[in-house]
Amino acid sequence: MGGRNMIVSIANNITSPLGMTTAENYAAVKAGKSALKRYEGHWGLPEAFVASLIDRSNFTDTRYTIVEQVVIHSVTKALESANIDTASPRVLFIFSTTKGNVFLLDKREKGFPQERVRLGIMARLIASHFHNPNEPIVVSNACISGVCAQIEAMRHLESGNYDYVIVSGVDIQSAFIVSGFQSFKALSPEECKPFDANRHGLNLGDAAATIIYTRKDTVSENEWCAYRGAIRNDANHISGPSRTGEGSYRALKHVLGDIDTQIIAFVNAHGTATPYNDEMESIAIDRAGLANIPVNSLKGYYGHTMGAAGILETIISMQAIDDNNILATRGFDTLGVSREINVTNQNQPTEKTAFIKLLSGFGGCNAALLMTKGGLL
C-alpha cells in the first residue's frame, strides 16, 4: 500500500422495513425476504404503487420528522459499536439524501416549520442531537449520493481534516416522490425484476443507513476498507442513461486501476430494474472487463432507497462477504440486457474479499466504489 492511509469502516447500521439493525437486515436478505408491498389509495395518490415502506408508527418522537427520526435511529445504533465521542471537533457528519423533508412542502402538513425542508437545517438538527460542533455537509447527487458521501468521507479522512466521519444516508417516501416517479412512468406495477427480460421499472423504498469511517496505518484481515471511489458524468442527458454506459464505465475503470479483476467477488450494481438503467449498466460492466464477475442487485429486497441506497447496499455487500456469500438478485430470472453479464439468481459461496458498489442517477452522474477486506491489494 506504499504508506497510504487506509480508510476503514468501524461500525454501521441499516434501519429499514426489513429490520432495525444490520444483522436483522442481512439475515432477512439472505433468506430472500422483501418488504415490497402493493399500496392502493395510499397518501391519497390516485394510482397504486409497490414500495418497501417503514412502519411510521414505530417512530413517535414528536420533536423530529419521520425522516430525522429514522436517521437518528440509524446513527445511534451504529454508534453503539463504535467507541467515539461525537462531541469532538475531530468527528464530521456527512449526510446523503435526495429529498430529505420534502413532504413538508405539502400545505396539509402541520407541526414542523417549513424551513426544515432545507437539507442543511435538517443536517444541523441531527448533528446537534449528537452534540457535534462541526457544520455538517449534505451530498445531494441524485441516486448516487450514498456512494458520493462515502467518497467525500474518504477524502476528508485522507487529508487529515477529521479522524472520524459518520456517513448517513436517508430517504423516506412520500406522495411527492412516488407521484414524480409515476409521472416518469418509471415504477413497476409489480415487484421489480432487476436485469430480467420482463422488467418493467423500479420500486421505491424507505431506509436509512450509516457507516462510520476512520483512518488507519494498518488494518487487520477482518477490517473493511473503502479502497478507491470515483464519480463520472455521462455528459449525455439529464434524465436518461448513456447508450454507451460512458460515466459508469469510466468510474469503474478508475476504481479498478491496475488491480487484477479476479480478486473481485461481485459487482453490486444499481440494478433498478428500469429498462434503460440495467441495459446501460450491462454495457458499462462489459466494457470494464467485468462480464465474468458475478453481478447482483438488492432492489428486489428493498426497492430503490435513493439517498440511502449507496450506503445500505455497501453494508449488505460487506455482510455477504463476511458470510462468504454472494447474494441472489431477488426478482431476476432470465437475462434481459444486451451484454452477457453474470447476474446471480441464487446465493452462492465465495472466498474472495473485495467488491464494487456501482450507482447511477439523474443528471447523468455515476459512481463506483471498490471495497476490500483486509486491504490486501
Query: Applying CB under 8 A, which residues contact other proteins?
Result: 44, 46, 98-100, 102, 105-107, 117-121, 123-124, 135, 137-142, 148, 152, 154-156, 158-159, 161, 175-176, 179-185, 230-239, 246-247, 250, 254, 361-365
- Name the residue nearer to other proteins (CB basis): 276 or 362: 362
Q: Please state the closest distance from residue 235 (CB atom) to other proteins, in A.
A: 5
Please list the residues that pair with 92 across neighbouring strands: 165
- Name the residue nearer to other proteins (CB basis): 156 or 193: 156
Q: What cell was used for 188?
A: 413497476
Burial of 218 from C-beta contacts in 10 A (0-12 / 13-18 / 19+): exposed
Look at residues 360, 229, 335 and name the one whose alpha carbon lies nearest to residue 284.
360
Ramachandran sector of residue 311 (left: φ over 0; alpha: ψ -120 to 50; beta: rest): alpha
Q: Please state the closest distance from residue 234 (CB atom) to other proteins, in A.
A: 8
Q: Which residues of 118-144 are buried (b: 16+ CB within 10 A; e: fewer)?
A: ebeebbbbbbebbebeeebbbbbbbbb
- Name the residue nearer to other proteins (CB basis): 174 or 344: 174
Q: Please state the closest distance from residue 358 (CB atom) to other proteins, in A.
A: 15
3-class DSSP assignment, residue 358: strand
Q: Please state the closest distance from residue 341 (CB atom) to other proteins, in A.
A: 22
Residue identified by cell 461525537 is 86
Q: Please state the closest distance from residue 351 (CB atom) to other proteins, in A.
A: 31
Look at residues 76, 234, 84, 229 and name the one whose alpha carbon lies nearest to residue 152.
229
- Name the residue nearer to other proteins (CB basis): 184 or 346: 184
- Name the residue nearer to other proteins (CB basis): 158 or 223: 158
Q: Please state the closest distance from residue 138 (CB atom) to other proteins, in A.
A: 4
- Name the residue nearer to other proteins (CB basis): 303 or 361: 361
Q: What cell was used for 203?
A: 420500486
Q: What cell was used for 286?
A: 462489459
In whole angstroms, give the CA distance from residue 225 to residue 88: 23
Q: What cell was used for 245?
A: 454506459
- Name the residue nearer to other proteins (CB basis): 23 or 184: 184
- Name the residue nearer to other proteins (CB basis): 25 or 305: 305
Q: Please state the closest distance from residue 347 (CB atom) to other proteins, in A.
A: 34
In whole angstroms, give the CA distance from residue 249 to residue 254: 9
Residue identified by cell 467518497 is 151
- Name the residue nearer to other proteins (CB basis): 35 or 104: 104
Q: Please state the closest distance from residue 259 (CB atom) to other proteins, in A.
A: 15
Q: Please state the closest distance from residue 14 (CB atom) to other proteins, in A.
A: 23
- The whole-angstrom distance between residue 327's C-alpha and the CA centroid of its chain comes to 16
All residues at 6 or more sequence positions from 44 whose CB lies less than 8 Å from its CB, including other chains? 175
Q: Which residues of 91-100 are buried (b: 16+ CB within 10 A; e: fewer)?
A: bbbbbbbbbb
The Cβ of residue 239 has, within 10 Å, a number of other Cβ atoms equal to: 12
Crossing angle of the two packed helices 309-322 and 22-30, in degrees rounded to 10? 70
